[in-house]
Structure 1
């Protein structure tokens, strides 16, 4: 398995109504988070400590909240908020 990101919970449904430019910005930042997590947690599947705290990322047009689950080698986008700025 290799690191990747995906929408979780209601974020996937919310993404269906958000503008494509905003979703592209979310995907770009989520890709950056995946690269950072893969570099920091090289042996993700055998990770035994608690998962790191997620956070909020501001992107053009809004923000999103993410959570890293190391043993699954995933960055989950759990909420997106389009504000239109």
Structure 2
């Protein structure tokens, strides 16, 4: 398995109605999070500690909340908020 990201919970439903330029910014930032997590947690599947704290990232048009699950080698986008700015 290799690192990737995906929408989780209600974020997938919210992504269906969000504008494409906003979603492309969310996806670009999620890709960066994946690269950072992969370089920090090289042996992700063998990780036996606690997962790092998630966070919020502001992107043009709004923000999103993410959580990293190291043993699953995933970055989950758990909430997106489109504000239109």
Unmatched tracts of structure 2, length 5 or more:
none
Using the TM superposition, give the Cα deviation of residue 39 of structure 1 relative to its aligned residue in structure 2, in angstroms: 0.1
SS in structure 2 of the partner of residue 31 of structure 1: helix
1:1-85 maps to which residues of 2 (within 5 A)? Answer: 1-85=1-85
1:24-75 deviations in Å (ceiling 9; x for gaps): 0000000000000000000000000000000000000000000000000000
- Runs of 4 or more, structure 1, over 6 Å off, are none
Please report the TM-score for the alignment, with normalisation by the length of structure 2: 1.00
Unmatched tracts of structure 1, length 5 or more:
none
- Give, in whole Å, the separation in 2 of the partners of 1:50 and 1:83: 32
